[in-house]
Structure 1
Amino acid sequence: MLALVRVIIGLGVSNPKIIEGWHGVPFTRLVGRTRETMEIVRAALRREAVDYSGHSFEIPLPAGQGTGAGEALKMMTKPVRSSVPLYIAALGPKSVEGAAAYADGWLPFLCSPEGAARVWGDALATGTAERSGDLAPLEVVAGGIVAIGEDVKGVLDLARPTLALYIGGMGARGKNFFNDLVRAYGYEAEARGIQDLYLDGKKKEAEAEVPLQLLEQVNLVGPASYVKERIEAFRESGVTSPRKPSVTAQRMASTSRLRRSVSSSRRRCDGIRTLSWIFHGFMPATRSACKAGDLDVRRQQADDACGHGAARTRGHGEQMLLHRSRLPRWWRRVAQSSLIASLILAVVASRCSP
């Protein structure tokens, strides 16, 4: 119940490569579609019968479309709250302006305190001027990896794969919001180089090109006094809540230690992968199951530890990993047969017991 009370909803427009290539809908009317989505979600959470007519959504379908059986419906369940905070992940000027005008919170990924005012200042001011008095002040959630210690700078390398992915591969050439953002920060040549390398399949080279200064700006890694200064810099730039996936110096002393842990845990995760394959209909194999080797790091590192290519899906309300095991097929069959036999014996024993 406490988790339900504290939950927030995050929304974002993604990018044309995913929306048109995966979802099969045009990447248009980004700001309007986001606002309509928020209005529909808020009405649904109030348990109102959703009857909405907008440019992007018509709920229910109007006469002449579909079977004609649609009608305005409301949620059958009763939410703990009639209002859940809606946060928007936005980077473009119009999207940021919209977030400041009607969202409960804003999620600026790769936020740099040194560049925030220059990149988003005008958009935030315009949106804030249009903000309804019924809304609380805008929450701004930003930050990156947190690692506090005297010798933790190597932890910044953990962020290289993520930044290279977003700057180089999250979208197409000429339509990558993260690449545009890094260029606006002043890293124009670096952003272009990272994108060229990443789209050419040279991911490791792209990771190496991520500027150290940028990594330092968007993360909180260093001695306690330095991290305090950076937190204050984020606060002065408008951030109200830190986003802080942490990596402790005690558990992750260096990047080389992480790589050794990943290498050894990759083998151990093969067994977990097989159990996930056997049990996927009965027991969700959550990401926490793949934290072999004390990999208390972000999702990217957990995925690396279990091998690439895992297909994530939803199951029983949890995150499941369903994927084909790299172990031999005969091994999987033996394991499955043994497991089934054990389950049968357990059921027989329980029925025969006095």
Structure 2
Amino acid sequence: MDLNVELLFLLIAVTTCVGELPITGTLCGCKMVRQCYVDMLVDLHEQDEAMCIDDVEVGTSTYMVYFKALQKYCSSVFNVTSQYMTAESRNLYEVTVYMPNEDNEDKKNENVPVILMEAGQTGGVEPLRLILSFIERLVACEENDNMIQNVRWVFLPCTNPDGLEYTRFDRPDWAKNTRKLEGSGSYGVAISKNFDSHWNECEKVKSMLDKYYPGPSPASEIETKFIRNTLLKYKDDIKAYLSLRREGQHGLLYPHAFSDKTDDVDPRQVKIAELISLKVNQRGGGLQAFVNDSIYRINNKPMCGNSVDYAHAQGIQLPYELRVGFEKDLEILKTFQTVSANHDAALRASYFSGIRELHALVTAHA
């Protein structure tokens, strides 16, 4: 029997004895766990730590520990850096997941197609949990090797950590960062409205207390600069950009947010959104309709300063919002039907099937 398989069976047997994991055919969403990840899980188990993303309470300390562990054990496919810090001195992390195949081993420094995903501009736990689950499946699961051999995945896992912590412990409806605004007693700018894309074309938000206050000027916030500069850093190689958010009905939305203008929207953006939505709905069993449309039409009003519109203006081929709404959707669903205990995990698995479809579509045109 393969050593990886033996270790996996041993790990499942050990953790089952102490009641931490049921005996199933998968572990952390994997059919076959990468050796480095098995080593990490054994270490985590010995330290009495939760081992899979679905089993932990997600916060800034969670992903900090997780990234350190991944860097220690799986540095051959995983790397994390941080060059930016928020107003409350929290790190903004850039994660890359990439494993060149043998044919590309001597070409590591050459251009590789990039899929860039960032989460959490509007705060909330679920976008962060979702993007961590994507990282886990790409790093941990050998069956996904093909997804990291010909594409470099770049993740900005939490682009508003101050807002995340505020929503966790105080204001669940908060959608801004928490920087104290000069000359006022107010806090916070909406990162999702702070990009230099038609920033001053919407009706002016006068109150700094407003949930959607876009800031004193475009790119006034360190979080905005972090996302913008990462987009520009990989601009020549980015094939797709996804911004994960927790607002509204879940779906994959393409430009524009500032108007219903369609003359410069690539029909391929629309078609790929349709194909990915179809895949997510097939995998999710139709419990919640995963939509695809323009950001403007879903909002039914203009939203200026959107990062997807900014990416579109930079010439990035496939820019989207990936909206997730587990918490709100679940409350609505529970009023008229029974929702299974593993609903969230199943929904995350359906999203990953959409990400796998995105990878296939990107590499088919690379």
Same fold (TM over 0.5): no
Instruction: With the length of structure 2 as denominator, give the TM-score of the two structures.
Output: 0.29
Higher RCO (CA < 8 A, seq sep 6+):
2
Q: Which has the larger radius of gyration?
A: 1
